[in-house]
A and B are shown apart, each in its own frame.
Chain A
Amino acid sequence: MTEPVPVVAQAVAVLRREVAVERAGREALVTTAPYVAAFVVLAGLAFGPSPQQLAPVAGGTTWLAVLGATVPLARAVAAAEVAEDSWDLLRGLAAPGALFTGKLLAAWAALALTWALATGLVVLLFEAPVPPQALYGGALGTLALAALTTGFGVLVAAGTRRRGLLAALVLPAGLPALLAGTQLATPGVPVLPWAVLMTLYAATVLAAVWAVFPVLLEE
């Protein structure tokens, strides 16, 4: 008789699988990195191009790029499994909590890298400083968006129609991260209220998606 695999080990296994899929196809990297680079350059032209005009919109540009990246990333959450007909098998093998945690961590890593890339480009091209609180906003905001990406990605992956609905679901739901993240990335703005909003938002979204995730896995 075999021992049941602990949920943590299952989550690690799911995460390792996600990393292996990414290493094999570079799907998230190829999807988001060129998009973010193009977005920041085009935003610089649209909002600027003088540095005096670009500095005030630097934080917002970063978060708009990150929020926009959630749509293609959500589409990829279960794409590999659906393509190779292993989605049902994976749902049967891994507990919902482990599946959520593994997928969430993978999405968080992708979004955190997206945020870091967008921030780096904004610092370089917009000549805008990054206040320390922006790191807090970046960490928590990308975590909250990763939870949304995972939840809505699984929801749409199981559907047979209206896949384009993903953008209409993810983008509005990410509004608080956009707002609080932008304010935390703007020098001179009071930190506490926006840090509180970001913390509450991340905690609420994580709890809500965690609670409904098993339901999304059902046929």
Chain B
Amino acid sequence: MGKLLHFLKGYEKESILGPLFKLLEATLELFVPLIVASLIDVGIANRDLNYVIKMFVFLVVLGIVGLSFSLTAQFFAAKAAVGFVKKIKHALFKHMEELSYTEIDRLGTSAMVNRMTSDMNQVQSGMNMSLRLLLRSPFVVAGAFIMAWVIDGQAAKIFGITILALTVIVYGIMLITIPLYRKVQQKLDGVLAATRENLVGVRVIRAFGLEEEEKKDFADKHRELTAGQKFVGSISALTNPLTYVVVNIGIAVLIWQGAIQVEHGILTQGAVVALYNYMTQILEELVKLANMIVLLTKMVASGNRIQNVLDMESSQEFPEETLTASRKEMPHVVFENVGLRYAGAAEESLSDLSFEVEKGQVVGIIGGTGSGKTSLVNMIPRFYDAAYGAVYVDGINVKDYKKEEIRKKVGMVPQKAVLFKGTIKENIRWGNPDATEEEIWQALRIAQAEEIVLGKENKLDFVIAQNGRNLSGGQRQRLTIARALVRKPEILILDDSASALDYATDAKLRKALQEMEDKPTVFIVSQRTVSIQHADRILVLDDGRPVGMGTHEELLKTCEIYQEIYASQFKKEVSGS
């Protein structure tokens, strides 16, 4: 959290003036008991009405000045807090965009979104409160103590002991209950998860006749929760009664002491009333401070989570400029004994992978679920780095490319067809911000998406809803293909992208790709042999290892796994295609 504070830069004025005005206001408040004391000792004792009215006016003026100070403080605090969070948001958003896929995997997208939203809100309200109150309460407590001391040194001792006792009670109870509350929260999360699980799995639970077991499980979980809630509740319920007792005993001792001092002529009656008022003020502020601390712990926890992400460094470094080709004689894409291991994974996801692809060739990649197909293609635009070996594009190691440059060469069509809120045109232009309408239409035609767009009202200006909700899976998929094509990529990667397309469209797409003018090198990842059997070369993966490479005909003869995959789909495809 501490490191985040430098984002207050540019708001130094506000973050100093805010607390300062708050302190000024508090100082004014401290004078109130003194004024009342002299009102009693001078005004009432001497029956001086003019003095009484003077003191009254004084009180009202103090109130007005206090109000204006406090308004100023609120404004500066709000301004600093809001600006502070705006700057952190900007920095975090930017930072997240610089993280590599490895860090994105590690964080998980929902955590990333939470850092940007709920944690930020927590920090904002915590910061706002801190600027306003964090200094105020200790200041008032200290001020009341000093005032008491000025009035009477003896009384100050009583104040000191009372403050100490109150602090121990309030913070002691907090120290005990905070971890307990956390545990209770975990138990509540458990009950929530159990409810959710029961609802989601209702068919399976009823199919297995497990209703009674579920009820028992839930009741057990909830019993634990209730017991925890009652336990922590009974401890935190001690705060108010204990502080009440301490303050009132403090007051009793104070009055006793005051009585002795008055008897000796050291104090006046009004001074005793003032001391009494200071004592009640202290209690009020300490309780406020305790609430403040709860908010503060939440803020610090959120702030630390944000800081952790900001501290996370991208595991990839990109050179400023692309190096010149070191091995010009190389084919278009080359994998040289490549291995990939994801961060934290026990085993390699790809091992000992070597192959070469000439410009314009079509490569099919096939294999079972989890065999490493997607991992392989993700290494070409350098989404992940090889654990050993190297990937070359145009004779240059992908690690020697400038980031934008290697990404520009590749048109990626990911498995999950993601589109963004905005018009079709805007979405396609993700591929190439400068694409003309003609180029967009051309890409749509090749991607077999022309009819989709023609079928929409407003054509290219049709507005896609968030996550593409107003389009079908197949439509989304074809638009993401067009988005990749509009870049005129040297390398096109279709990662199982035809899975939502029917066989006929899939075939048309492949044909259109073949007929393109500047034919890109194409990688097709698929589970269906029919999608890749016409490829110039097919790579068969099993558990991250290459187990066969060649054309469809060759593999049918030599590769056992390919034969099995083919056989599992065979009859249909023969009669189908």
Are A and B a genuine interacting pair, yes or no? Answer: no
